[in-house]
Chain A
Amino acid sequence: MKLNIELRTSPHLRKTHSVDTIMRNVVYALLPIATFAVYQFGISALALLLTVVASCLLTEALFNYLGGRPNTINDYSAVITGILLALTLPPGFPLWMSAVAGFIAIGLGKSLFGGLGYNLFNPALVGRAFVQAAFPVAVTTWPPAYAANRFVEFIPTTLTLPFTEPVDITGWSQQVAVDAFSGATPLALQKFEGVTTPVMELFTGMSAGSSGETSALLILLCGTYLVARRMMDWRIPVGILASAGLTAWLLHLSSPETHPGPLFMLFSGGLMLGAVFMASDMVASPVTPLGIWLYATLIGVVTIIIRLYGGLTEGVMYAILLGNAMAPLIENMTQPRAYGHARRRSRS
């Protein structure tokens, strides 16, 4: 019989979705959040998003070129890092600083480790942590949401000249702010002034804050899409939110005057975005079943402790970075019990 036969090794069938399909779908899931950020904060937020994404892509291409590796910007992972990073920055963050943040995120957080799959930390958070330390004023300058001219006028700090500090926007804020939307974030208001923002406003995103962290509802919906498509591990966000909620609730019971309730804690600041999109970064989180729950619990508890007892208003970034750092250790300690083996073998 005349027939060319081909030799392959089993399994001869494969599931269809691939790394770039997953990454592309994460981008789709982030787009509604990015769009809402633009609606809420105007062209400044748009410029911020574009700048950070462009900076991430260019950095990735640059490091590929320098390292003599094939170009990997088509796998969408740098786009995700860019969008996530932009969403954690204040909407009026100076563009030149945003570009630096993107460069650090990809360069230091990802490429130096070896690129996709090898990073120890979530690259977006590495970028965020860097600018937190490098530009402490700019990164805590919160312009009001829903400013009247937001679609035609940049927030004054956005167009700060490179290598200069942004101007003070207190006056501008008071001038453009619509009624209740002052510039301070709900967490800062609560911590320093004892004013608690109503939970419903936090849930729907009617408050000030980082570009993409304000609407808990929207973030939950987008996360649900990824979980439904089996492209995200639901245990990580559920574990973080449950442990953070429980910790906040216990502390609230112990002294209700100084410690706000669990719903306020869950829906304010970056916790929702962090739990759903940052901590669930596959590369930097454990894969063992028990390890996933430990990792999520650690992040949830540490976030609340930093918020309530630390000097900062927000703790989710450092909590996740700490979780990322612990992930290999957690995984090593929680190897699953293999079929036919009596118990977990100790791995240390």
Chain B
Amino acid sequence: MAALHEDETMGLLQRLNHASFSHGIHPAEHKEGTRDKAIRRLPFAPRLFVPLSQHIGAPAVPIVRVGQEVVRGEPIARADGFVSVPLHAPATGRIEAITLMPTATGNRAPAIVLHVYQADNQVVGFGNEVDLARLDRAALIEAIQQSGMVGLGGGAFPTHAKLRVPEGSVIDTLLVNGCECEPYLTTDHRVMLEQTHALLEGIRIVMRACGAGRAIIGIEDNKPDALEVVRQAIPSDSPIEARAVKTKYPQGAEKILLKTLLGREVPSGGHIFQVGASMVNVGTAAAIGQLIPRGEGLIERVITVAGPGIEKPGNYLVPLGTPTDFLLEQLGFNGSEAEVIMGGPMMGKSLPSLEVPVIKGTSGLVVMNEAFLNQPVRKSYPCIKCGECVNACPMHLNPKELGLLAAKREYALMAERFNLNDCFECGCCSFVCPSAIPLVQQFRIAKTYNREHAA
């Protein structure tokens, strides 16, 4: 522990040496409330809402009937094609309905409603132990798909689909994302500290599945304890390496961390495998390390529940499908008005309904209270061309020009000449704008408009 303490007072010079990308921002971290809180379980909610589409790609197809009893861990929906994953019952209980339920996007989408048997011991009743050594690359990818694994960092892209690369492409390096650059969130931090061995096991499995010869774990330098624990758990002759990267938003975005760690750039409109790399989040890797050897499916995940509105902030292991209002009841919310953000405050979505459940891509809930909501609305000024957005954009776009064009509804021009489609909506431009112009919001509208008019 002495070494741990020393590392926490990491010198300024040492920090200056840490790899990073140019531009980006430094929002207040707000992680002190939950980063030291160990992962805990909560009681099961009486009803779980399991949406069929918790991932990018085709929604899963239900394989259960209404009224059927299911055991915790039992498959309840199958993957529909390659870019899709199955679903597993997050608890033992009875299927009450398959119906439309609210989602974070504001639309209603089909979900399986599971009535949980509160008296049950909730032991995972499904799973076949696998001898990993006997599985080849294709079989490993298949096993990862069958576990229902998606990017747990928030992307929710089916993990197996990232690992299979077209004929002729080679992945030389697997990058493991332990940045967690969003304010408030500490799930990846706790996973690295508490599930270190599962994390390393998962990295080995993913390396085999994608054929990478080495792996680099990138950890922001505001988590020196995690860096130290992970480093000590890595055997000396291992092809896995943990590196500190600068604490800066959006360090944890896939394209950005790739640039930071390997100096490579994903070509515009392309995929990360085209430059010989793949990336998984530490949470995803740890879940793979736990589930694949046991042949189990993804039924729960770690989320951070934090923010000024929450009485008992912390990191919780929650069954998928747990509705937000149940979490707020368990963890205490005082007041009558709130904004509940699913994900971090920079890129997360405000929930339109408290029935929206925790899904595979939910990294946290940030709950804002009245004090936050009643802050005076910042006055909006015309663009004064200060260039702060240009100096903040991690993709080196020109948000100032994009914003001026958006105001004139020149959406096609934005895409043609100012690379609108390279914007991944990190929100740095809106964050820094002294004129309080809703830049990223306008870019979203422009992209949607272009998509709808492309056909």
Chain A residues near B (Cβ < 8 Å): 1-15, 17-22, 75, 114-118, 233, 282-285, 287-289, 292, 335-341, 345, 347
Nearest CB of A to B364, in Å: 13
Contacts of B265 in A (CB 8 A): 339-340
Asked if B268 lies at the interface with its beta carbon under 8 angstroms from chain A, I say: yes
Asked if residues B390 and A1 are in contact (CB atoms below 8 Å), the reply is: no
- Contact (A340, B422) CB under 8 Å given A19-B384, A19-B434, A117-B384: yes
A292–B390 Cα distance when bound, in Å, is 12
- B435 close to chain A: CB less than 8 A: yes
Q: Nearest-CB distance from A289 to chain B (Å)?
A: 8
Stretch at the interface among B4-12, B281-289, B325-333: B325-333
CB < 8 Å: which of B335, B351, B394, B436 contacts A14? B436
Of the candidates B350, B351, B385, B390, which one forms a contact with A336 in the assembled complex, judged by CB atoms under 8 Å apart?
A: B390
Are A5 and B354 in contact (CB-based, < 8 A)? yes
Contacting pair A15 B382 (CB below 8 A): no
Question: Which residues of B are found within 8 Å of A282, using beta-carbon distances?
Answer: 384-387
* A117/B398 in contact, CB under 8 A: no
Contact at B328–A3, with CB atoms within 8 Å? yes
Q: How far is the CA of A288 from the CA of B396 in the complex (A)?
A: 10
- Is the Cβ of A18 less than 8 Å from the Cβ of B382? no
Are B268 and A340 in contact, CB atoms less than 8 angstroms apart? yes
Interface size on B, residues (CB 8 A): 69
Q: A-facing mask of B379-398, CB < 8 A → 1, else 0?
A: 10111111100100011111
B335-358 Cβ-contact flags toward A at 8 Å (1 or 0): 111111100011111111110000
B438 within 8 A of partner (CB): yes
Residues of chain A contacted by B438 (CB below 8 angstroms): 9
Q: How far is the CB of B420 from chain A (nearest CB, A)?
A: 10
In this assembly, does B255 line the interface, its C-beta being within 8 Å of a C-beta of chain A? yes
Pairs across A and B, CB under 8 Å, 14 listed: A3-B325, A5-B352, A9-B438, A10-B347, A12-B368, A13-B346, A15-B431, A19-B434, A117-B385, A287-B390, A288-B398, A338-B396, A339-B259, A340-B268
Chain A interface mostly helix, strand, loop or mixed?
loop
The count of A-to-B residue pairs whose CB atoms sit within 8 angstroms is: 167
In contact, B337 and A11 (Cβ under 8 angstroms): no
User: Which of chain B's residues have a CB closer than 8 A to the CB of A115?
Assistant: 382
A13 near B345 with CB under 8 A, answer: yes
Question: B260-304: which residues lie under 8 A (CB-CB) from chain A?
Answer: 265-270
Contacts of B418 in A (CB 8 A): 335
Task: List the B side residues contacting A6 at CB < 8 Å.
Answer: 337-339, 350, 373
* B residues neighboring A (CB under 8 Å): 25, 27-28, 183, 255, 259, 265-270, 325, 328-329, 333, 335-341, 345-354, 366, 368, 373, 378-379, 381-387, 390, 394-398, 400-401, 417-419, 422, 425, 427, 430-432, 434-436, 438, 440-441, 444
Which residues of chain B are within 8 angstroms of A118 by Cβ–Cβ distance? 382
Q: A287-B387, A338-B419 are in contact. Are A18 and B381 (CB under 8 A)?
A: yes
Known: A15-B432, A340-B268, A340-B422. A7 touches B347 (CB 8 A): no
Q: What is the CA–CA distance of A9 and B346 in the complex, to the nearest angstrom?
A: 9
> B255, B390, B434: which contacts A21 (Cβ < 8 A)?
B434
CB distance from B363 to the nearest CB of A (A): 14
A11-B431, A19-B435 known; A1 and B383 CB under 8 Å? no
Q: How far is the CA of A2 from the CA of B325 in the complex (A)?
A: 9
Chain A: which residue is nearest B328 at the CB level? A1
CA A292 to CA B368, docked complex, whole Å:
40
Is the beta-carbon distance between A117 and B381 smaller than 8 angstroms? yes
Q: Cα distance A18–B431 when bound, in Å?
A: 11
Query: Is there an interface contact between B395 and A339, defined as CB atoms closer than 8 Å?
Result: yes
A1 B329 Cβ-Cβ under 8 A: yes
- Given A3-B333, A11-B431, CB of A19 within 8 Å of CB of B385: no
| Cβ B338 vs Cβ A335 within 8 A | no
Contacts of B379 in A (CB 8 A): 18-20
Q: How far in angstroms is the closest Cβ of chain A from B352?
A: 6
Asked, given contacts A116-B382, A288-B398, A339-B265, whether A3 binds B431 with beta carbons under 8 Å apart, the answer is no
Closest residue to A117 on the B side, CB-wise? B382
